[in-house]
Structure 1
Amino acid sequence: MSISFIFPGQGSQAPGMGKSLHDAFGAAREVFQEVDEALGEKLSKLIFEGPADDLTLTANAQPALMAVSLAAMRVLDREFGVGAGKAAFVAGHSLGEYSALAAAGALSVTDAARLLRTRGNAMQAAVPVGEGAMAALIGKVDVALAEEIAAKGAEAGPCVVANDNNVGNVVISGSKAGIDAALAYAKEKGARAIALNVSAPFHSPLMQPAADAMAEALAGASIAPLAAPVVANVTARPVNEPTTIRKLLVEQVTGRVRWRESIEWMATEGSVARFIEVGAGKQLSGMVKRNAPDAETLALNEPADLEAFAKSV
């Protein structure tokens, strides 16, 4: 039965995440120490103790979520003999794509932490606070309707579909004027829309300065051969060639997260029957159930989760 390891993105963070793994396994403690050393600060203390407001800051949340995911993966590999090579594919939601690449051995934990700190800072700095916005279109909304709503918003200012998570959960992003116009049109169309409490308009053209910063940062990053292909956010197709991976990671900053298409492709063309969410929370598992209802999902958050999963492989 083919499996895919999938890795969460921003929004899954919570103080205390990964603490049980840290306390139970030396392999997990190693990862948190490597991240702390890479960043020159005790990010692990913030991960385990909070405060939540500081952990939620983009520059902290991105490397923090990666640290928890990679701690779980190293324990799986070291303690239970289940590495990324056991998977047909790996994939991650937005920043989770870096976790996926590190899990597959393409990036070191150190490089992934530094790249995500750079990415978080660059995304935060790309647009002055208050000038960008994001909103979730929920309920009976598919990507076609979301694109129509975003196009209407774009008449007032930049506005695009940012995350195609699943039918009934599509996120739009852009300027405040563009999002406000889109929300007004969504109401006309009978679509339910919720403004998101985010610090910047992620995955929109307004993130171009951050994309430029990541192009520079990634140019100097070493990308090793992958233990399993990564299904890229911007193409929803597998890739394992380093030059292409670099290019797609840059495009990802301004491009759409094609999560629905990624899961659908893995479940059908890729014959994946089990999606294993590794790290904090269970948000992706819920999305998988909506995109590939026949697939099995499992979230690995606690030591007992890892042991039970390892026995089932």
Structure 2
Amino acid sequence: MTAAKKTAIVVAPGRGTYGKGELGSIARLHGARFAELIADFDAQRRMRGQPTVSELDGAERFSVATHMRGDVAAPLIYSATALDYLSIDRDKYDVVAVAGNSMGWYSALALGGAVSIEDGFRIANAMGLNSQTHGPGGQILLQVVDEDWRPVPGLRDRLLGLVAAIDARPGHDLALSIDLAGMLVLAGNEQGLAALLAEAPPTPGRDPLRLAGHGPFHTPLMVGSSDKAKAELPASLFGGPAIPMIDGRGHVWRRFSSDPTELWDYTFGHQILAPYDFALSVQVAVREFAPDVIILPGPGDTLGGAIAQALIGISWQGIASKAEFVARQAADPILLSMGRAEQRALVTAKE
């Protein structure tokens, strides 16, 4: 008797996930099975005069200056995510919804069937370039939970109050960029970021981290990127999703009731210019669809902590701390990261 399928939500990772350890992983994990799709991605890059995915993934060594740049990172991350998604064993897992973090929303569009896998690459590749269309500025990551991933009382509110105060100063731009549950990504211009670093209260775990190569994503400073995207990427690329997609507001785009033009407008408007609430998207997904597992495709597995912290934030299935999450993972894993070999083996179809 065949075991019953498990229901799963799939969460697509964003920038910063294809690192030194992932170099060569696209060819190694997918080169034989998805050669035709990789060739399509390569052809799209070649037509734009860009180094191909195969060339970048096959580089002799990882280069921070090259591989972390938006126009290189985005297509590599998208390729790894999409091909991992296509590798999920559908006899074991019924994918009931998809979500993504920041750039991972472009991947989620393809995983959810709102655009084709090939057009998803076109969007991610174009946005890798477009994401560099902004004024001076960037992102800073700050931790707001303790070592057991419980919120430090009052810290989030203090930080957001400081952000609002700095943003109100002449010549200073600062705003919430991404809510990662246990961490906040704040973005702004150089004056705003400098003031934040000078005035931020002590935060646990790590010092505030300036994210290398990142612009002031998910703020009005990205208006040039939004305008360029809407001019270059037509609404005709979009259709209704085949499965529900949860966006950066926690809104669920459902099959049959989603307007493709509205989805296009959100993707290249609000999604670029306003905060991305990743924690809320995960919390809505698990509450709405009650999955047996959450699958995190590659590249890497750095988003696993943020997913766990989002679950802890609502005490999902009684998980209210890092210790409880670790114990649950050991006994009956709820989060399956395809970037980890032992968990990947539980998710992928046998060749």
What is the aligned partner in structure 2 of residue 245 from structure 1? 263
Q: Does the aligned pair in 1 maintain the 2:336–2:344 contact within 8 Å?
A: no
Q: Does the aligned pair in 2 maintain the 1:93–1:259 contact within 8 Å?
A: yes
Amino acid at match of 1:247: D
What is the aligned partner in structure 2 of residue 229 from structure 1? 244
CA distance in 1, matches of 2:8, 2:177: 27
Q: TM-score, normalised by structure 1?
A: 0.86
What is the aligned partner in structure 2 of residue 63 from structure 1? 75
What is the aligned partner in structure 2 of residue 277 from structure 1? 296
What is the aligned partner in structure 1 of residue 200 from structure 2? 186
Alpha-carbon distance change, 21 to 124 in structure 1, aligned in 2, over 3 angstroms: closer
CA distance in 1, matches of 2:25, 2:76: 15
Q: Does the aligned pair in 1 maintain the 2:245–2:253 contact within 8 Å?
A: yes
Of 171, 174, 177 in structure 1, the residue corresponding to residue 188 of structure 2 is: 174
Gaps of 5+ in 1: none
Alpha-carbon distance change, 244 to 185 in structure 1, aligned in 2, over 3 angstroms: same
User: Relative to structure 2, which stretch is displaced further, 88-97 or 35-44?
Assistant: 35-44
Per-residue deviation at 1:244?
Answer: 2.4
Gaps of 5+ in 2: 1-5, 145-151, 318-333
CA distance in 1, matches of 2:53, 2:236: 22
Which structure has the highest helix share of the two?
1
Alpha-carbon distance change, 263 to 19 in structure 1, aligned in 2, over 3 angstroms: same
What is the aligned partner in structure 2 of residue 6 from structure 1? 11
Alpha-carbon distance change, 83 to 155 in structure 1, aligned in 2, over 3 angstroms: farther
Amino acid at match of 1:34: D
CA distance in 1, matches of 2:92, 2:107: 14
What is the aligned partner in structure 2 of residue 263 from structure 1? 282
Per-residue deviation at 1:263?
Answer: 1.3
What is the aligned partner in structure 1 of residue 149 from structure 2? none
Counterpart secondary structure, 1:2: strand
Q: Does the aligned pair in 2 maintain the 1:155–1:178 contact within 8 Å?
A: no
Pairing 1:90–2:105 present: no
What is the aligned partner in structure 1 of residue 37 from structure 2? 31
Per-residue deviation at 1:215?
Answer: 1.8
Q: Does the aligned pair in 2 maintain the 1:69–1:278 contact within 8 Å?
A: yes
Per-residue deviation at 1:144?
Answer: 3.1
Q: Does the aligned pair in 2 maintain the 1:162–1:173 contact within 8 Å?
A: yes
CA distance in 1, matches of 2:162, 2:82: 37
Show the 5 A alignment for 1:78-117: 80-81=89-90, 86-117=94-125
Q: Does the aligned pair in 1 maintain the 2:80–2:298 contact within 8 Å?
A: yes
Q: Does the aligned pair in 2 maintain the 1:275–1:285 contact within 8 Å?
A: no
Of 275, 291, 300 in structure 1, the residue corresponding to residue 338 of structure 2 is: 300
Counterpart secondary structure, 2:250: coil
Alpha-carbon distance change, 111 to 11 in structure 1, aligned in 2, over 3 angstroms: same
Of 212, 218, 236 in structure 1, the residue corresponding to residue 233 of structure 2 is: 218
CA distance in 1, matches of 2:239, 2:131: 26
Q: Does the aligned pair in 1 maintain the 2:10–2:95 contact within 8 Å?
A: yes
Counterpart secondary structure, 2:347: helix
Show the 5 A alignment for 1:10-25: 10-15=15-20, 17=22, 19-20=24-25, 22-23=27-28, 25=30
Deviations 1:130-186 (A, max 9, x none): x3132112143764333212112213311100010013x101101111122223331
CA distance in 2, matches of 1:109, 1:43: 15
| Cα root mean square deviation, aligned | 2.6
Q: Does the aligned pair in 2 maintain the 1:146–1:170 contact within 8 Å?
A: no
Counterpart secondary structure, 2:208: strand
Amino acid at match of 2:75: P
Alpha-carbon distance change, 89 to 145 in structure 1, aligned in 2, over 3 angstroms: farther
